[in-house]
Structure 1
Amino acid sequence: MTVATGNTALTGRTGKRLIVVVGAVLATVLVWAIGEPVLGHDLVVTGPGQPATDLGLSQIAFIAAASSLLGWAALAILERFTARALTVWTIAALLVLAVSFVPFLSVEATTGSKVVLALTHAVLAAVLIPGFVRTAAKIS
């Protein structure tokens, strides 16, 4: 009997990180789906001097995917150049999360909409950060 012990598409680091990205996007979309269609919080935001923007499913999914892929790219680049990649990336990810809440101070939206949007940020980080930490290169 032969047992395959290769690095298959979804068990290698790239595959695991892809699963983390998909999970983060799906979790964010789930928050949107509960917040807007189910609870009825229309995610319309108005920035200073800007027209009102209705954040729908496609915008939420795109922003979550783009943020996740940028995080992945940043971690991969750091892993090539520093032994402390995971520490640097985790601190940077937490700072980006904190800064992502700043626009809530200047945009106009209902309280419910702001809560749903804040939850999308938090859920994305809650999946992405520990997920990427688990896939990071281990230093022996």
Structure 2
Amino acid sequence: MNTSTNTPAHASSNTSTNNTTKTALRRPLTVVGASAAALAAWVLAVPVAGIELTARMGAGVDQVGPAAVVVASLLAGLAGWALLAVLERFTARGGRIWTVVALTVLGLSLLGPLGSAVGTAATVVLLLLHLVVGAVLVPGLARR
């Protein structure tokens, strides 16, 4: 008879543990996935389509290579994840606040390609790279 009383509590505990495990796996996979998606977009644009992806960096102009794409997207993802963890720990609406901040940062990040890309094709590709990373990170990290 006690088994039926314990079963719902045990099932609830497992559900909570499963949700925590899924979140613990989903977030790093989301960060890696955002980087992989950005790299895939870079491959389609640069080697496949032949677009010269250059941007003004300081006084010169540099090629935007695959390493820069991967590192930038990983850093963005890790920073977003860290902020989300802090907000979830200290506020009741951490996910909602994070989503607003993340979308604001994504919008502001689009100013970079608009001001530094060399040529229309490079501007479009860099904007798309930012949007691809945002499209993976925002829903992937914010979701519980």
For the residue of structure 2 that corresponds to 1:45, the secondary structure is: strand
- 1:73 counterpart = 2:67: no
Q: Within 2, Cα distance between the matches of 1:81 and 1:6?
A: 20
Match of 1:30 among 40, 54, 64: 40
For the residue of structure 2 that corresponds to 1:83, the secondary structure is: coil
Question: How many residue pairs end up in the alignment?
Answer: 130
What is the percentage of aligned positions where both structures have the same residue?
38
Which one-letter code corresponds to 1:101 in the other structure? Answer: L
Quick one: higher RCO (CA 8 Å, sep 6+), 1 or 2?
1
Preserved CA contact (<8 Å) 2:39 2:66: yes
- Residue 65 of structure 2: aligned partner: 56
Give the structure with the higher percent helix.
Answer: 2
Shift of 1:101: 1.1
In structure 2, runs of 5+ residues without a counterpart are 1-13
Residues 76 and 63 from structure 1, CA distance in 2 versus in 1: closer, same or farther, beyond 3 angstroms?
same
In structure 1, runs of 5+ residues without a counterpart are 136-140
Which one-letter code corresponds to 1:77 in the other structure? Answer: V
Match of 2:124 among 105, 112, 115: 115
For the residue of structure 2 that corresponds to 1:23, the secondary structure is: helix
Preserved CA contact (<8 Å) 2:30 2:136: yes
Q: Within 2, Cα distance between the matches of 1:68 and 1:132?
A: 9
For the residue of structure 2 that corresponds to 1:120, the secondary structure is: helix
Which one-letter code corresponds to 2:77 in the other structure? Answer: S
- Residue 8 of structure 2: aligned partner: none
Match of 2:103 among 71, 89, 94: 94
Match of 2:92 among 68, 74, 83: 83
Residues 46 and 130 from structure 1, CA distance in 2 versus in 1: closer, same or farther, beyond 3 angstroms?
same
Residues 105 and 115 from structure 1, CA distance in 2 versus in 1: closer, same or farther, beyond 3 angstroms?
closer
Residues 6 and 81 from structure 1, CA distance in 2 versus in 1: closer, same or farther, beyond 3 angstroms?
closer
Q: Within 2, Cα distance between the matches of 1:116 and 1:129?
A: 20
Bigger Rg, which one: 2
Residues 83 and 59 from structure 1, CA distance in 2 versus in 1: closer, same or farther, beyond 3 angstroms?
same
TM-score (norm: length of structure 1)? 0.84
Q: Deviations over 1:24-44 (max 9, x none)?
A: 111110110001111111111
